[in-house]
Amino acid sequence: MQLCLFGKAVRFINIPWIALLLQGIPELTAVTTLACVIARIPLNWRKILLIGIVLAFISYGVRLLPIPFGVHLFVLIILLFIALVSLGKGDFSLSLIASLLSFLALVIFELVSLSLLMPVFGVTPETLLTNLVIRIAIGEPQVILTFCSAFLLNRLIQKKGSSVNEFH
């Protein structure tokens, strides 16, 4: 799909709904979970899922706009920060750091997953763009790694907190 804007043709990024449901929502829910753990906000699954769904739909909408790819990431970082401070009652500076670090972790996990899995399964970048099932399957490990990081970090923080309390 194209749109003429100021005399220039602009292409929209076509993201299928199934990718939003099976990849976008889980991915942003995982990022929100990690951000809550980093910001020391108690894990309230209703709020985390709500934030993940809202962020996924906003990401979907922003990516449809005729703007450079990647702008959606900055929008999501800002919105996650606002959600952590307002809905999660998180500390201002810690929430900012948590928003940045959780998306940084996602980008790193995505880079590692794609770098390892694409050669192993012989998937080309063109295949990722044209085959929705492969794109979702190759994208799921980064979601799993993000959730695992959140749960492991949460457990580490809880253990550290309980050991500190034992000495006081």
pLDDT in tens, 56-95: 999 999 988 888 888 999 999 999 999 999 999 999 999 9
Between vectors from CA 103 to CA 63 and to CA 98, what angle results, nearest 5°?
130
Check pLDDT > 80 for residue 17: yes
Q: Which two tokens stand for residue 153?
A: 């970090």
Helix ranges (DSSP H) in 3-131: 17-19, 25-38, 45-64, 71-86, 92-121, 125-130
* Distance separating alpha carbons of residues 113 and 159, to the nearest angstrom: 29
Look up tokens 């929502």; give the residue.
25
Report the predicted TM-score, pTM, of the whole model to 2 decimal places: 0.87
Residue 158 one-letter amino acid:
Q
Share of the chain above pLDDT 90, in %: 75
CB-based burial of residue 66 (10 Å sphere; 0-12 exposed, 13-18 middle, 19+ buried)? middle
Every domain of the chain and the residues it spans: 14-162
